[in-house]
Structure 1
């Protein structure tokens, strides 16, 4: 992921911003990237409408999925304190099996690939393919939970 960020930064698509007060590093889209945004969204919409879901679900990437899930988190739906959600993909290799999202008021959501050591508020367990199907809109979460394909535990 850091290589992708460096490539995008080198291409002028994002700018790295380091907040010295919090120590947090953010990557902000540049004007060039913002000009590309309608094109990228249109291509994504076209792909969603025209590419067969079975083909899309053949090459799955847990880190990419979790990065995308992280970007879509609505902090307004979280309590006004640090919240930790652990995602578990039991069929994946150990290095791709666990991810933690950390939501804090006033901060962007963090994605961790190693245990951050905080108490977990919510556990989500499913196969990678199941969560990908839900994220892409190919399957409703409620049905996946009813069928036992996904477990959500507080």
Structure 2
């Protein structure tokens, strides 16, 4: 995983796959009335840069066309930044601070995105060097 993380190119990031994972990561119980519409605009995608996640109770749907519902949260970022934040490589706060991640909406929903959007299941894994000690360094390969 460490080698892969360090060697991914921008073309290796897939918006469709990311959105499927984000759909599964939404925690409806953490949203007001378990409902919300989240609009994503990916700045590095030419075809279909706009995506929506529509949460209605237990039903969560991804849309590539405007679902015609009032949007609660607007997120503008690159696929790489969104992936890195979701995977725990950077925090949403760090991405906002460096300007690579914009979010607009009610503060209760935008202050701490991790409240309603679960991180990737691998986000809490320690770095390989922490697991393997010196045997995990890339110089040992």
Q: TM-score range by the shorter chain?
A: 0.5 to 0.7
**Aligned Cα RMSD in Å?**
1.5
Partner in structure 1 of residue 67 of structure 2: 116
Partner in structure 1 of residue 134 of structure 2: none
Q: Which runs of 5+ in 2 are unaligned?
A: 106-141
**Residue among 103, 110, 113 paired with 1:152:** 103
> Partners of 2:7 and 2:86 in 1: how far apart?
16
Count of residue correspondences: 104
> Partners of 2:8 and 2:21 in 1: how far apart?
15
**Residue among 20, 29, 42 paired with 1:67:** 20
> Partners of 1:52 and 1:81 in 2: how far apart?
36
> Partners of 2:15 and 2:49 in 1: how far apart?
8
> Partners of 2:9 and 2:22 in 1: how far apart?
16
Q: Which runs of 5+ in 1 are unaligned?
A: 1-46
Partner in structure 2 of residue 103 of structure 1: 55
Change (3 A) 1:57 1:69: farther
Deviation at 1:81, TM superposition (A): 5.3
Equivalent pair of 2:41/2:77 in contact (CA under 8 Å): yes
Higher normalized contact order (CA 8 Å, seq sep 6+, divided by chain length): 2
Task: Please state if 1:51 is matched with 2:3.
Answer: yes
TM-score, structure 2 as length reference: 0.68
CA displacement, residues 13-40 of structure 1 (integer Å, 9 cap, x when unaligned): xxxxxxxxxxxxxxxxxxxxxxxxxxxx
TM-score, structure 1 as length reference: 0.62
SS of the residue corresponding to residue 32 of structure 2 reads coil
**Structural mapping, 1:11-22, within 5 Å:** none
